[in-house]
Amino acid sequence: MKVLVFAGSTRLQSYNRKLARVTAEMARASGAEVTHLELGDYDVPLYNGDLEERGTPPDVIRLKQIFFEHPAWIICTPEYNASYPALVKNTFDWLSRSVPNNPDWTDGYKPTQGKVVGVLSASPGALGGLRSQSHLVPLLLNLRCWVAPQSYALGRAAEAFDAEGRLVNEAARKPIQAVIDQVLFAAQRLNA
């Protein structure tokens, strides 16, 4: 099963990027074929309809292809003002746009429809970005994704990793693994 793991942050010391790295390793150990995507590697401007009329940016097309190729995703989202960050929204807004004159991408739902998605979050606060998830889930449903019923919010994230980005909060492994297991379980059955 091909699983795409990515964080909704490009910050160098991002806790969600660290969580995504740990999650990717754990999903690999569970037998998944994992792509660990860094959104910072893609040149995606803030969505603007005028800009879009001049042509969909090439990296948006690349991202559409990557998201489309993976039946399952695990997102590690930060929480900004009790919701998910603009980076996440902007990425999905571009992904959802049909590309006129490009027969591969006339259907705006193509990169997202039917994907099984696990939601994780991390925050230095006690709630671990839990409130971001309650906004992200409806967005994913609107994009016609299947969202795994179990999710996990890693609180006190500043103490959860060592200097090399390894997870030292051992108690967090079990709930992260539970999300991975659910995503693999559902994605395997939906794509059987």
Ligand X SMILES: Cc1cc2nc3c(=O)[nH]c(=O)nc-3n(C[C@H](O)[C@H](O)[C@H](O)COP(=O)(O)O)c2cc1C
- Estimate to the nearest angstrom the gap between the alpha carbon of 161 and the chain centroid: 20
For residue 118 the two structure tokens come to 């696990």
Stretch that binds ligand X, among 9-17, 57-65, 97-105, 171-179 (CB under 6 A): 9-17
Task: Return d(Cα 8, Cα 77) in angstroms, integer.
Answer: 5
Task: Return d(Cα 62, Cα 85) in angstroms, integer.
Answer: 21
- As measured in angstroms, the least distance from the Cβ of 126 to ligand X is 8
- As measured in angstroms, the least distance from the Cβ of 10 to ligand X is 8
Stretch that binds ligand X, among 32-40, 54-62, 119-127, 175-183 (CB under 6 A): 119-127
Stretch that binds ligand X, among 13-21, 42-50, 108-116, 146-154 (CB under 6 A): 13-21
For residue 82 the two structure tokens come to 């009790």
Backbone phi, then psi, for 36, in 5-degree steps?
-100, 105
Alpha-carbon Rg for the chain, nearest whole angstrom, is: 16
Q: Which of 51, 82, 141, 190 binds ligand X (CB under 6 A)?
A: 82
The β-bridge partners of 37 are 6
User: Helices 86-95 and 58-69, interaxial angle, to 10°?
Assistant: 90
- How big is the site for ligand X, counted in residues (CB under 6 A)? 14
124 binding ligand X? (CB under 6 A): yes
90 binding ligand X? (CB under 6 A): no
Q: Which of 1, 9, 32, 64 binds ligand X (CB under 6 A)?
A: 9
Q: Which of 4, 16, 105, 152 binds ligand X (CB under 6 A)?
A: 16
- As measured in angstroms, the least distance from the Cβ of 47 to ligand X is 19
Query: What is the torsional sign of CA 173, 161, 157, 22?
Result: negative
End-to-end CA distance of the chain: 10
144 binding ligand X? (CB under 6 A): no
In terms of Cα–Cα distance, which of 186, 182, 155 is closest to 19? 155
Q: Which of 4, 6, 14, 176 binds ligand X (CB under 6 A)?
A: 14
Q: Nearer to ligand X by C-beta: 15 or 146?
A: 15
11 binding ligand X? (CB under 6 A): yes
Residues near ligand X (CB under 6 A) are 9, 11, 14-16, 78-82, 123-125, 129
